[in-house]
Amino acid sequence: NAGVTQTPKFQVLKTGQSMTLQCAQDMNHEYMSWYRQDPGMGLRLIHYSVGAGITDQGEVPNGYNVSRSTTEDFPLRLLSAAPSQTSVYFCASSQTRAAQGTQYFGPGTRLTVL
């Protein structure tokens, strides 16, 4: 099993550009989530999904969209990038929802918005 994979590993955007961060897992996990990690703030939940077709907002959802058309994939879209979105983004998955299960994290995507 590859576990949780994320692409790209690094990305530089200009303000106003859009892009999609890809996340995939091959463990047949129902729960998937996106976090951002900023210095001194730990990880903060952006969006999560409890199954295909079901998504919901986390602690910091503004500026991001998600969809979950399959169990395996959970892409994160930045519609109009802003410098405040410069961060490291982690995708995670869990066999059960985060409150009960252990989340397994991808390697992260380092995003810089100029």
Partner 1 sequence: AQKVTQAQTEISVVEKEDVTLDCVYETRDTTYYLFWYKQPPSGELVFLIRRNSFDEQNEISGRYSWNFQKSTSSFNFTITASQVVDSAVYFCALSEGGGNDMRFGAGTRLTVKP
Q: How far apart are CA 76 and CA 20, in angstroms?
A: 6
Q: How many Å from the N-terminal Cα to the C-terminal Cα in the chain?
A: 36
Least separation, in Å, of the C-beta of 113 and partner 1? Answer: 19
Q: What is the DSSP string of 26-46?
A: SS--SEEEEEEE-TTS-EEEE
In the list 17, 27, 30, 44, the residue contacting partner 1 (rule: CB under 8 A) is 44
- Output the smallest distance, CB 72 to partner 1, in A: 19
User: Which residues, 6 or more positions from 107, have their beta carbon under 8 angstroms from its beta carbon?
Assistant: 5, 6, 9
| Site for partner 1 contains 93 (CB under 8 A) | no
> Residue 73 gets which letter from DSSP?
B
Asked if 59 is part of the footprint of partner 1 (rule: CB under 8 A), the reply reads yes
43 binds partner 1 (CB under 8 A): yes
Residue 89 sits in the site that holds partner 1 (CB under 8 A)? no
Task: Give the residues lining the site for partner 1 (CB under 8 A).
Answer: 31, 33, 35, 40-45, 48, 50, 56, 58-59, 88, 90, 92, 97-100, 102-105, 107-108
